[in-house]
Amino acid sequence: MKSAIYPGTFDPMTYGHLDIIKRAANIFDELIVGVLDNKEKTPLFSVDVRVNILKEATKDLPNVKVESFGGLLSDYCKSKGIFVVVRGLRAVTDFEYELQMSQINRKLSDNKLDTVYFNTSLKYSYLSSSSVKQIAQFGGDLTDFVPGFVADMLLEKFDQKN
């Protein structure tokens, strides 16, 4: 069985992420979406909430599993016996960082981990979790960016903050 992992912060998941998940799930037998529990970042949503959003959004995709992980991606992959990492590329600006990460992961895994990139679908090429949070902060329309239940969670979060 060919498994891959799609790691990320997903704070929160957008339609851009979901598009990559669906396309990768069509290619691999099993796709694990790995939600990074990074103690150095202060995400808007807790890791449990980010995992639950992804579980809800992917509930109709039987070969997609959502899990959280901490520490090094290469260690997590080793513990699961997975050697393919999926990442998305929006623009050239993503490329430099992604290339560096993939080379580090390869080095840390004794050249076992490979990274596969999916080009963004054009309609999501401008979409990022940060821009979604900015729009939500000012009460903008999120219809084309995140599922309705995520938009509600974002607006509620910023209502509490204001």
Closest to 135 in 3D by CA, of 149, 145, 125: 145
- Annotated catalytic residue, options 74, 87, 109, 129: 129
Question: With binding defined as CB under 6 A, does residue 45 bind ligand ADP?
Answer: no
Q: Indicate if 79 belongs to the active site.
A: no
Residue 29 or 91 having the CB closest to ligand ADP? 91
Task: Specify the stretch interacting with ligand ADP by CB under 6 A; choose among 8-16, 46-54, 59-67, 150-158.
Answer: 8-16
Q: Are 67 and 51 in contact (CB under 8 A)?
A: yes
Q: Which residue has the tokens 């219809």?
A: 143
- Annotated catalytic residue, options 90, 106, 112, 133: 90
Q: Indicate if 50 belongs to the active site.
A: no
Q: What is the phi-psi region of residue 39: left when phi exceeds 0, alpha when psi lies from -120 to 50, beta otherwise?
A: alpha
| 2's tokens | 């060919």
DSSP state of 10: -
d(CA 40, CA 36): 11
Q: Indicate if 90 belongs to the active site.
A: yes
Number of alpha carbons in the 13 Å side-chain half-sphere of residue 110: 2
- Annotated catalytic residue, options 17, 50, 74, 87: 17
| 45's tokens | 């949503």
Q: Indicate if 41 belongs to the active site.
A: yes
Residue 93 or 162 having the CB closest to ligand ADP? 93
Site string for ligand ADP, 97-136 (x = CB under 6 A): -----------------------x---x--xxx-------
Count of chain residues binding ligand ADP (CB under 6 A): 15
| 87's tokens | 């990442």
Q: How far is the CB of 2 from ligand ADP (least distance, A)?
A: 20
147, amino acid identity:
P
Q: Which residues are catalytic?
A: 17, 41, 90, 129
Binding-site ranges for ligand ADP (CB under 6 A)? 8-10, 16-17, 20, 87-88, 90, 94, 120, 124, 127-129
